Structure 1
Amino acid sequence: MTLRSGVTWLPSALLLLQVPGCLTLSGPEQVTGTVGGSLSVQCRYERQFKENNKYWCKSPCLASLRTKIVETTKSEREVRSGRVSIRDHPATLTFTVTLESLTESDGGTYRCGIHRPWTEGLIDLTFQVEVSVSPGCLSLSCPRRVTGTVGGSLSVQCRYEKKYTDHNKYWCKGPWLPPLTRKTVETTESQREVRSGRVSIRDHPATLTFTVTLESLTEGDGGTYWCGMDRPWTEEPFVPTFPVVVSVSPGCLSLSGPEQVTGTVGGSLSVQCRYEKKYTDHNKYWCKSPCLPSLRTKIVETTESQREVRSGRVSIRDHPATLTFTVTLESLTESDGGTYRCGIDTPWTERLIHLTFPVEVSVVSPGESHTPSPRPCFRLPDLPGHPLVRTDMELKSWLK
């Protein structure tokens, strides 16, 4: 179908595409195994997709071609289809796909995916993984590339041969120049799990793997690392190491804040929202949901010249030095309760819609209590090349 604008559209029902930008679903970009062996792919998802079906498919993953190889269901967290199995781990917000008895023909482009009903989103969430199968015997294999988001965490699983079960395993940042290489973290014969600051390593002899986890990621964590095994030079003339490129993206942390805040009648409450550095000079605002421009629902908004603005009982203050802005509601009444949004005003030249984050405000009588719960960041998906022309009615439905 071709629109008058000249943009060619495929029926969206046929597409299972990767949503760029926000890393709602992430995993290794490349994994490697050997003929006759097995490999595992671990994909990480957000809490909001805990109950959704997870699947593994061979690219291009067109629904019309029925390319899903294996898929979980609400009642079956672990499913097997031939040599391929998938297991959902809701407790850790990950799912693992395992390919066994590998053949060279298993190499290719796959996608781990999350099924979303049409009521939830436009398309399924998928993440591309390149699978390579080597005929040789890899003493040590790992994903070649892994991606995480600022403030989040990522894991790298490395697989080794049985003869290295009792050897020390380690993780270091490149370039790899023994004996000058400084190991970030290393297991020992007596310590199978070791932590050093934000980095931990755990050896799993039963599965012949070890896992390195990096937490509280920063953009400075990106770079080339090496997973390795420490071995006496008397055994072999080389030390098994494998390079892993780590990428850290701003991801979906464009705008984040508390999910719920509570105040008491007659008192005040504050909401602090955090944003990315690139939005330092943008206007910040507070509005009552659904926050449609046509309804003029902005209550208070900063400007380039006014970092602090008040409107009646509500004030907003931007703190560029800490990349946060704070909204304060004073002299609270019960009618102040409801769903609001902290937002960032972005020109149409930058993105189709503003960045907003929903905040549920509760106002209780003195003496009552309410415990808020944390919420992951919220970001509407970017679809480059696919203009989202929405009516106010459609936006109201989206923003609820």
Structure 2
Amino acid sequence: MWSCQHVLFICTVLNCVSGAASLIHVFGYEGKEVKISCPYIKGYESYEKYLCKNGCGYSDVLITTLQRNTSKYLIYDDTKKTIITVTICDLRSRDAGKYWFGVSRSGKDLYTEVKLEVKKDRCCDTVSKIQSIEEGLVSISCPYDSEYVNNLKYICRGNRPSTCLQQAVITSDTKQNGQFRLTDDRKSSIFTVTISSLTLRDSGSYLCGVQRKVGLDVFSAVELEVKGEKS
């Protein structure tokens, strides 16, 4: 059984081999992996499937179900569920672009378009800087677009968006976690994380995150400096 670490995103489009102009939009981070899954209609279980790029000529075919997996591309055809899955490993900016899922058959092959966007795994261009003192508290304000009022909010340490949600110190589902407390002012579209009983170890980078249903999450960056009490 093959595996590829740090899989980030699974995008599914129903009836992708029906001949309709379907589009799978996929997002990933540099250095990570992205998984793309596409169901197909029953009856094509024994047909060869493949992933290709650009014009889908012979030299554009990246991997097929008749090939062995490579260090870059992994392919798996679940014939029971009629789902073809390709994992692209170790993403780079050059991997961004247009791909196609193909099903080989007599006459014209069946295709589904895939658009892959690759972003750097760091954030952000603008960083808010705040200060506080040991044993005090600090409030980090995280504004968000009003369209995300019902979405999950969270905060994590560091500046890597790809692992932020998994390493979140608190989310809007928990609201209180030790020294961290999260409140969400839905009218103002601002969620606030209060950190109490500060120590010098609390200094560093934080990311405010808002989970999106489609695409990568939205982030803003904060740099916290905790100063020791003056003697």
Superposition TM-score, scaled by structure 1 size: 0.31
Aligned to 2:133: 295
The AA in structure 2 aligned to 1:357 is G
Q: What pairs with 1:183-332 in structure 2 (closer than 5 Å)?
A: 183-188=61-66, 194-231=68-105, 235=106, 237-251=107-121, 253-254=122-123, 293-295=131-133
In the alignment, structure 1 residue 145 sits paired with structure 2 residue 25: yes
3-state DSSP of counterpart to 1:164: coil
Distance across 2 between alignment mates of 1:294 and 1:27: 41
User: When the two structures are aligned, how many residues end up with a matched partner?
Assistant: 152
Change in CA separation of 1:386 and 1:170 when aligned onto 2, cut-off 3 Å: same
Aligned to 1:170: 50
The AA in structure 2 aligned to 1:32 is V
3-state DSSP of counterpart to 1:195: coil
- Percent of pairs with identical residues: 21
- 1:144-188 Cα deviation digits (max 9, x unpaired): 211122222111112223332222111111133x4x552111122
Q: What 5-or-longer segments of structure 2 have no aligned partner?
A: 1-7, 136-155, 172-183, 204-231
Task: Flag the structure with larger Rg.
Answer: 1
Aligned to 1:395: 195
Distance across 1 between alignment mates of 2:42 and 2:190: 53
- 1:177-213 Cα deviation digits (max 9, x unpaired): x4x552111122xx6xx32231111111122121000
Change in CA separation of 1:200 and 1:389 when aligned onto 2, cut-off 3 Å: closer
3-state DSSP of counterpart to 2:43: helix
The AA in structure 2 aligned to 1:182 is D
Contact 1:169/1:228 (<8 A) preserved: yes
More strand, by proportion: 2
More helix, by proportion: 1
Aligned to 1:33: 14
Contact 1:165/1:205 (<8 A) preserved: yes
Q: Which has the higher contact order (CA 8 A, sep 6+)?
A: 2
Contact 2:14/2:40 (<8 A) preserved: no
- 1:198-231 Cα deviation digits (max 9, x unpaired): 1111111122121000112222221110111223
Distance across 2 between alignment mates of 1:211 and 1:245: 15
The AA in structure 2 aligned to 1:293 is Q
Distance across 2 between alignment mates of 1:140 and 1:171: 18
Contact 2:100/2:112 (<8 A) preserved: yes
Contact 1:140/1:158 (<8 A) preserved: no
Q: What 5-or-longer segments of structure 1 have no aligned partner?
A: 1-24, 40-136, 255-275, 283-290, 298-354, 359-375
3-state DSSP of counterpart to 1:220: helix
Change in CA separation of 1:219 and 1:244 when aligned onto 2, cut-off 3 Å: same
Aligned to 1:182: 60
Aligned to 1:335: none
Change in CA separation of 1:202 and 1:141 when aligned onto 2, cut-off 3 Å: farther
Q: What pairs with 1:40-79 in structure 2 (closer than 5 Å)?
A: none
Aligned to 1:357: 158
Distance across 1 between alignment mates of 2:77 and 2:117: 23
